[in-house]
Every structure is written in structure tokens, then in C-alpha cells.
Chains A and B, each alone.
Chain A
């Protein structure tokens, strides 16, 4: 079984406020002082693929991670190989600057790369990327490849040549069955990406890495986009006006906090 997991590198969304700066000249947002990481839901997507590999012991499962962009960090993608992916395909090109690509262009380019890769039974993506949170690329890839897409996956197993997916719903979850090949967009309910051992980290350095340019996947010129960024602006989320409630001990401070909140009508007594 061949599984392709699309992963994206983003500035760490767990970074402190003020980590992002608007560059008006280039009309884009730049991260300052925070490292790139794998987008959160893409880590969940890789974990979903690895769990299938764990359970399908009678079948050889090959996991290819695929990443697209400019200036892709080797260290970030090594993590995916160390966690258990078998190979990495990078599509790296100046024309693939994530800040200037919309979901349509991204999905179209990834679908071209997947077609070039050829054999696949399952394609995983995260439900949305942690920078723009658009949540459209998975469905777009499936549309361009002409295969079914299942979103909001909380658990994925393989049974009788189908993928069985637990989808998150407003009241719980539903179990759906989709034929192979299908695309599955994964939510964090799948669970966090496993932590690689030292041995796996070392082995990861020897795993195959392929680099493609846009020409390799049949793209020429800048991809067509349908969304235009007209501008960015900052809106302060909240004012800082915190009143620290003191106390001789932490417990007294807790007591004082309760009394203060009831006094101020924040919590009804």
C-alpha cells in the first residue's frame, strides 16, 4: 500500500504574540524569532498514516511525505522521516511561495506532483494549515485527482480494501467507508505524532529525499490564483490591564480572587 502525506512547514503557531510582522512592501506576513515547525494537523495526518503502517503487518506500507514551498527546512522535514515516513519528496521553487499561493493553486500543484509520483492508495492532509487555516487544499487535491475526499477524520483504519474513517460531527462522530484511493483530511482527534527514538533520528538521515522543481511537475510560470490579498492589518486582541490579586499564600490569593470576582459581579455569588 502506498500512502502519500502532504505536509507543510509553518512558523510555530505556539509562539508568543508579536512574532509576526507585516511587510507592506511585499504585502506579506513574516515570522520573527520563531522556528519553523510542521503544521499541527499535518503531524496528525502523518500519525494516521503511521498507525495504518503499524497495523497492516501483512502488507508492505510505504509512506511518502510530500512538501511544497520555498526555503523548506531540512530539519523540520527530517522529523517526518524520523517518525517513520519512508521517503520525502520536496517540491521547492521560488514560484511556490506559500504566502502568494491560494488554496486552488496549492491543491493544483500538489495534485500534479502526486500524479507524477504515480502510485497511491491513500492521500493524507491535515484538516487545515496552522498559518492561514483555509482548510481547502485536501478537498482540492481530491477534486483534481478525481478521487473521493473525507474530511475531519479522527481515526482511520483499513478494512476490505476500503478506508474506514471516524469523522468528527457536532454531536459526536460518524463512521464512513470510502474506497481506495481516497483523500483523507485529518483532525487532531487522531492524536499527536509519535516521538522518534535516537536510532530513528539517525536512520532518517539515510532515507531517500527527492527534489522536484515546478517544471518537474509540469508547472510553468506563476500558478493561477483566485484570491488576492488586498492588505494585512493588526487588531489588538485584548488590552493588557491585569490586576494581580495578592495573598500571603497561594491559597489565600485564591480565596481573595474568588471574593474579588464575586464582589465585582464577574461571578455571581
Chain B
């Protein structure tokens, strides 16, 4: 393995804070660096990111590289790739970790192919043994895991959210902040961004929600989802769906939960009219408590649920929602209850 550091691409939130998945990557990269005996670095990309770099330097790492350029204000494939490759030439990291995000889904393979190395996407862990560093990822809809050895340098992996306890700031070592000179212009870029539109993608809300109310084919229609929206609204949660309602156009594909949709790990996952295909379960198995409502007692979802009701959701859900609403109303009007 080369002398370079294990390096995390730290993604920033809208407010230029650190994305939670990037803090998880910092934690995992720290363990990898410890196992391999290398240094740990972070790289931050964007425009006017001095404060963010300062924030990143509060973590237990050796170096923070900043790629600060007006053309990096928003993600654009070709510009980000070009800037990252300039960073690579200067820093020569031995490995690169990124969160498995909409940004890295586009950027990480570009970097891997440009550098002629290999990448394991959507990993949930790693193992370090006699043969070297292997990344672990779920395959075949989720309950089989593959351990993959990368031939080539640098090693690259994208890490799934909630795979690792996020790193916390700690000032253990002296952190060096290195501003990488970035030379960028649009002349080489073939792809032009015409417009950016905000809204309609509720996947982000779904991922951070503490309670998810999800519907499947059994819901039967777009109208059926209204019942679930009411419940989610009252509980302060988000609505999700298995694949069929998205394919059938009842709900936006942005709220699909599953191996081929979004992965969620809420405290409570209420699965309504969902039979429980493997690829769906792979997307919600991290939930603390699973509640299933399905009229088929043999539905697979009951095998992984904690609580279940066998019955038609059109009858079960209004009574369920009503009972919680009544109790909450009762709670406020009665004041102190013992």
C-alpha cells in the first residue's frame, strides 16, 4: 500500500455543515487507517468552504484538503471529476471513501475509471485480514453479503448511511489544512446544467424520519395512500412505499423503500399492505420496531415484524389512527394523568 492517507470525501449539507454519512465515513476510514497503519485525511469540495474546512478540522484526522472554487458551488459531474483528479495528483491517497449518496453514485465511478482502479459501492463494512483490505456489501436483495478485495490503487468505496457510528469532533492531533490549487473552466465540459428545480423529491425526508408509514400493492390506489399520509402526518413521520405503488404511479418513485430504492432505519416502520419481498426488506430491516398490517396471514412481512395485525387496512388503519388521535387529545385536555 502506498504512503498516502486514507481519505474521505466530506460532503456538505445546504448549510455547509457535514453530512451525517460523511461523519460515518470518517469513523470507518479512521479504523481502516489504524488497521493499515496509514494517515487519515479529509477532502472538502465547494465554493467558499473555509468555515466548513474549519469544522472538518475539529475531527481526529491528520490533514484537511480543500478544493475551493466558484465552479464547485453546485455539483457538476465533469467539473467535480476534474477537480478531484487534481487533488489526487497532489495528495496521492492510498484509499478514498465517500458516503453512498446521489453525488457519489455519479462521481465515484468516474474517479475509479479515470484512475484505472476499482470501487465497491454501497458498502456496510470492511474487514482487514492476511490478504488485505476487503469491503463488505449486501448483494442479491440484501441478506447475502459479499466480501470484496480490490486489486489496484487507490482502493475506493462508497459507504451506506447507518453503517457505522458517526465520528465525533475531538482534538487529538494537529490537523493541517491544505488548500489545493484548483484550475477549472467549462471549456472541456460537454454536459451543461440548464436549470435546478427544488421539490418533489421527498426521499431525503424519508431517510431522516423517525417514523415511516409505508404502503404496498395491497393499498390498491393513490387514494388509499391518503390514509397513510394522515397517519404519517399525525405521527410526524414520512410516507414510504414498496416498489409496486411506485411502478403503478400511485406515489412518487422518490419514496420507494428497498434495495433498489432508499434504505431507511427509523425507530418505527409501519408496513401496510406490503407482502415483504426480499429487496423491500433489505431497505427497512434496520428499523428498530416493525409493525405489519396485511390481510394475508402468510405474508413474509410478518416473519420480520414485531407487531402485526391480520386484516384489511381500510378497516384497521382508521381505527388505529383514530385511537392514537383520541388518546393524544385526551392527554392534552385532561392535563396531568397518573
The residues of A with any CB-CB pair to B shorter than 8 Å are 11, 13-17, 19-20, 22, 29, 31, 40-41, 102-104, 107, 127-128, 130-136, 139-140, 143, 148-152, 164, 168-179, 182, 187-189, 191-192, 225-245, 247, 249-255, 257-262, 266-267, 269
Q: What is the bound-complex CA distance between A211 and B282, given in angstroms? A: 36
The 7 closest A-B pairs by CB, nearest first: A250-B311, A254-B319, A258-B323, A254-B316, A237-B285, A250-B315, A226-B118
In the complex with contacts A172-B201, A251-B318, A228-B303 CB distance below 8 A: no
**4 additional A-B residue pairs with CB within 8 Å, beyond A13-B279, A178-B190:** A17-B278, A20-B140, A134-B121, A139-B113
**What would 29 A/B residue contacts be, using CB atoms closer than 8 Å?**
A11-B140, A13-B141, A13-B259, A13-B277, A14-B280, A19-B278, A29-B139, A29-B140, A103-B118, A128-B260, A133-B260, A135-B109, A139-B113, A148-B191, A150-B191, A169-B201, A174-B196, A174-B197, A177-B192, A228-B151, A236-B143, A238-B304, A240-B304, A244-B310, A251-B318, A253-B309, A258-B321, A260-B307, A266-B307
When the two chains form their complex, are residues B315 and A14 in contact, meaning their CB atoms are under 8 A apart? no
Distance between B104 CB and nearest chain A CB, rounded to angstroms = 10
When the two chains form their complex, are residues A13 and B278 in contact, meaning their CB atoms are under 8 A apart? yes
When the two chains form their complex, are residues B109 and A140 in contact, meaning their CB atoms are under 8 A apart? yes
Residues of B within 8 A of A243 (CB): 306-308
Interface of A (DSSP majority class): mixed
When the two chains form their complex, are residues A235 and B145 in contact, meaning their CB atoms are under 8 A apart? yes
Give the interface size class of chain B. 35 or more
When the two chains form their complex, are residues A252 and B319 in contact, meaning their CB atoms are under 8 A apart? yes
B112: Cβ under 8 A from any A Cβ: yes
Distance between A25 CB and nearest chain B CB, rounded to angstroms = 16
Identify which of B139, B152, B197, B282 contacts A131 (C-beta below 8 A): B139
Residue of B with least CB distance to A244: B308
Identify which of B75, B203, B260, B297 contacts A13 (C-beta below 8 A): B260
Residue of B with least CB distance to A252: B319
When the two chains form their complex, are residues B139 and A172 in contact, meaning their CB atoms are under 8 A apart? no
When the two chains form their complex, are residues A178 and B191 in contact, meaning their CB atoms are under 8 A apart? yes
Residue of A with least CB distance to B330: A269
When the two chains form their complex, are residues A40 and B309 in contact, meaning their CB atoms are under 8 A apart? no
Distance between A108 CB and nearest chain B CB, rounded to angstroms = 10
208-232 of chain B: CB within 8 A of chain A: 211
